[in-house]
Structure 1
Amino acid sequence: MTTFASALAVCTALLTSAAAFAQDKLPNVTILATGGTIAGTGATSTTTVGYTAAKVGVERLIEAVPELKKVANVKGEQVFQIASENMTNEHWLTLAKRVNTLLAQPDVDGIVITHGTDTIEETAYFLNLTVKSTKPVVIVGAMRPSTAISADGPINLYNAVTLAGSKDAVGKGVLVSLNDQINAGRDVTKANTSTADTFRTPELGFLGYMQDNKPHFYRQVIRKHTAETEFDISKLDSLPQVDIVYGYANNNRIALDAFVKAGAKGIIHAGVGDGSLSNAMKPGLVEARKAGVLIVRSSRVGNGIVARNGEANDDELDFVVSDTLNPQKARILLMLALTKTTDSKAIQKLFYTY
């Protein structure tokens, strides 16, 4: 019995040691939860619209996917608990600072951020410009609440943690991962109000796919991002006011004038076509620029390059063009640019860099 007990103790010790070694070999991934549909609940299992977002805490999200233990050593933090339409500049600054603090720690290999889908693309681009690390940062959400039949949150979270812990994701910039697809934070946009395949990178395409519990990359982002950027938000508590004015038939300058009067430092004009300016809107934009407000011509179309000196003489008007950034992302870059400079030529260079 003594010999058997000794042998059993040795076997137990070896198994415990092996299990500990296996855990030590796994990447360390921190999940920062901010709310959204992935943390939402509905009245019934078939409620996929009209549900309440941001109800489930990060620990319950992790507990719902026990398979996470097989791909990473996971920790969770509840940073916010909001629906993402309520995301503000102050939320972004808080989140970016926390991400930078965590990624500076040697025992953190990657970050996953759970987020509402409505403004995922904006948060992703903000972090893409302000995170100061090459370690993976993956933003994930869901199109169905956690209580729904075939809720997509658990598999999306599993894939996001796998991706954040992968060496293949290092240096790729901030990533958005849902529906087994990997998109770049700079280029991705929400393309459908309700379907699970809503996140797309029109024309430029996905970076890759999640399959067989690992990422498969097929392209990379050439524009500078994360550790390569010049934006330092470590001492910022606020960002300059930048607003978006939408172009449409029979439009007017009422909203534009109101934004300028309210103290806007920059205006994104989401013009029709190639960022065209209507006869009703152009005088207001010219007056705003002469008053010191930075004007960026973007497009409501959502695809393509806004050509400098195309639909307006940008050199003469001292305007900036957004390149391929949609209006909501152009707003983010202009806000950060205005923390560095108010020179329009320098800001135009930033739009061609990031």
Structure 2
Amino acid sequence: MLHQKTAQFMAAVFGMFIIATAQVHAQDAAKPKLANVTILATGGTIAGSGATSTTTVGYTAATVGVQQLIKAVPELANVANVSGEQVFQIASESMTNEHWLTLAKRVNVLLAQNSVDGIVITHGTDTLEETAYFLNLVVKSRKPVVLVGAMRPSTAMSADGPINLYNAVLLAADPSAAGKGVLVAMGDQIHGARDVSKTNTSTPDAFKTTELGMLGYIQGSKPYFYRVSTRKHTVDSEFDISNLSALPQVDIVYGYANMNTVALDAFIAAGAKGIIHAGTGDGSVAARVKPGLVAARKGGAIIVRASRVGQGILARNGEANDDELDFVVADTLNPQKARILLMLALTKTNNTKELQRIFYNY
């Protein structure tokens, strides 16, 4: 009888264990599956440190590693399965073409893997918009790629890096971000890589898409999109960097009152294949500079007229007879982004009509 009661008791316990286990499995199955997001760290202010908690300028960038960045935001585990790689550890003013090629190739390798659903890239803010636009042109995936930075170092009492990083991972893990091109998550806002710019030296709200408008907001741990870019990007891009180890030299000549050709002449002498002329107003060309640009074009360099203003369409055959001079116009791209597009375009063609098509498509 004792053995029978023991057996009954053990059967009951085992039954309860089976039920409890089934309930746990049911609960796990009911939980939404988290996306796998890889964070590629490149340095910058988001990984910076200052002497005190009130140091918001004069700090040292690129001192904190990617694992420490992840550890500082434990809430990331609630929105994605996060892993990290330290690709570079630099201040972004030191970003080079070679850095871009290395980063882009790594992004493409990761996104080709079924185990990666999205990428977040931590980056210094000084050239964040340029890296974002470069990736927008060469990433070969619809999966989300989100760049993020901070305007204040990680040691500041008002550090914006942790919430920006959380929002970036949240965005990269969200299916609604797929197919919208490379994105920038800063200050609870979603920006498109083509049109966003850093507009302030030091305040947390520095990143804006001033004229064409941001793409959306992040609020309550959810992204909300209100518009998308109509320009070609990522999987629809014609640019392929898989076999590139370098990019053509393209330099920017800045327009100003009393301008001369010293910088232009130096760039051409140094072997520039293209010149972005960041002219005043609607890309105006000063009378004393025009002969130098004409000579540079006749010598084989591609001349792209852009504007230092920062907003507006650059009118073809407006402030210069572009058809006659065989120049290209930058459309709405700012000079630094026009440089990126021209570098990539020159890997495909030197024909100015084709180059103009490219500027109007991207």
User: TM-score, structure 2 length as denominator?
Assistant: 0.95
Aligned to 1:246: 254
Aligned to 1:122: 130
Question: Closer, same or farther in 2 for the Cα pair 1:55/1:310, shift >3 Å?
Answer: same
Question: Closer, same or farther in 2 for the Cα pair 1:14/1:42, shift >3 Å?
Answer: farther
Map 1:70-219 → 2, pairs under 5 A: 70-219=78-227
Question: Closer, same or farther in 2 for the Cα pair 1:157/1:5, shift >3 Å?
Answer: farther
- Amino acid aligned to 1:161: V
Aligned to 1:291: 299
Question: Closer, same or farther in 2 for the Cα pair 1:249/1:107, shift >3 Å?
Answer: same
Query: How far apart, CA to CA, are the structure 2 residues paired with 1:221 and 1:337?
Result: 20
Query: How far apart, CA to CA, are the structure 2 residues paired with 1:126 and 1:277?
Result: 27
Aligned to 1:46: 54
Aligned to 1:264: 272
Query: How far apart, CA to CA, are the structure 2 residues paired with 1:122 and 1:258?
Result: 24
1:140–1:157 contact (8 Å) kept in structure 2 = yes
Q: 1:6, CA displacement in angstroms?
A: 4.0
Q: 1:203, CA displacement in angstroms?
A: 1.1
Query: How far apart, CA to CA, are the structure 2 residues paired with 1:99 and 1:223?
Result: 21
Query: How far apart, CA to CA, are the structure 2 residues paired with 1:42 and 1:75?
Result: 26
Question: Closer, same or farther in 2 for the Cα pair 1:213/1:100, shift >3 Å?
Answer: same
Structure 1: gaps spanning 5 or more residues: none
Map 1:61-76 → 2, pairs under 5 A: 61-76=69-84
Aligned to 1:352: 360
Correspondence for 2:316 among 308, 323, 329: 308
Is 1:228 aligned with 2:233?
no
- Amino acid aligned to 2:354: A
Query: How far apart, CA to CA, are the structure 2 residues paired with 1:132 and 1:272?
Result: 36
- Three-state SS of the structure 2 residue aligned to 1:85 is helix
Q: 1:150, CA displacement in angstroms?
A: 1.7
Q: 1:212, CA displacement in angstroms?
A: 1.2
Query: How far apart, CA to CA, are the structure 2 residues paired with 1:22 and 1:7?
Result: 22
1:172–1:221 contact (8 Å) kept in structure 2 = yes
Query: How far apart, CA to CA, are the structure 1 residues paired with 2:92 and 2:24?
Result: 43
Aligned to 2:3: none
Query: How far apart, CA to CA, are the structure 2 residues paired with 1:33 and 1:16?
Result: 36
Query: How far apart, CA to CA, are the structure 1 residues paired with 2:30 and 2:94?
Result: 41
Query: How far apart, CA to CA, are the structure 1 residues paired with 2:329 and 2:22?
Result: 63
Q: 1:13, CA displacement in angstroms?
A: 4.0
Q: Which portions of structure 1, spanning 4 or more consecutive aligned residues, are displaced by more than 2 angstroms?
A: 1-24
Q: 1:279, CA displacement in angstroms?
A: 1.1
Query: How far apart, CA to CA, are the structure 2 residues paired with 1:154 and 1:135?
Result: 23
1:110–1:136 contact (8 Å) kept in structure 2 = yes
Query: How far apart, CA to CA, are the structure 1 residues paired with 2:32 and 2:289?
Result: 61
1:269–1:295 contact (8 Å) kept in structure 2 = yes
Question: Closer, same or farther in 2 for the Cα pair 1:304/1:135, shift >3 Å?
Answer: same
Correspondence for 2:335 among 327, 330, 337: 327
Task: Using the aligned pairs only, state the percent identity.
Answer: 72
Cα offsets for 1:183-229 (capped at 9, x unmatched): 00000000011111110111101100001111101111000100000
Query: How far apart, CA to CA, are the structure 2 residues paired with 1:349 and 1:33?
Result: 35
Q: What is the aligned residue count?
A: 354
Q: 1:19, CA displacement in angstroms?
A: 7.2
1:23–1:73 contact (8 Å) kept in structure 2 = no
Q: 1:280, CA displacement in angstroms?
A: 1.5
Query: How far apart, CA to CA, are the structure 2 residues paired with 1:43 and 1:20?
Result: 45
Higher Cα Rg, which structure: 2
- Three-state SS of the structure 2 residue aligned to 1:298 is strand
Structure 2: gaps spanning 5 or more residues: 1-8
Q: 1:345, CA displacement in angstroms?
A: 0.6
Question: Closer, same or farther in 2 for the Cα pair 1:113/1:18, shift >3 Å?
Answer: farther
Query: How far apart, CA to CA, are the structure 1 residues paired with 2:294 and 2:16?
Result: 83
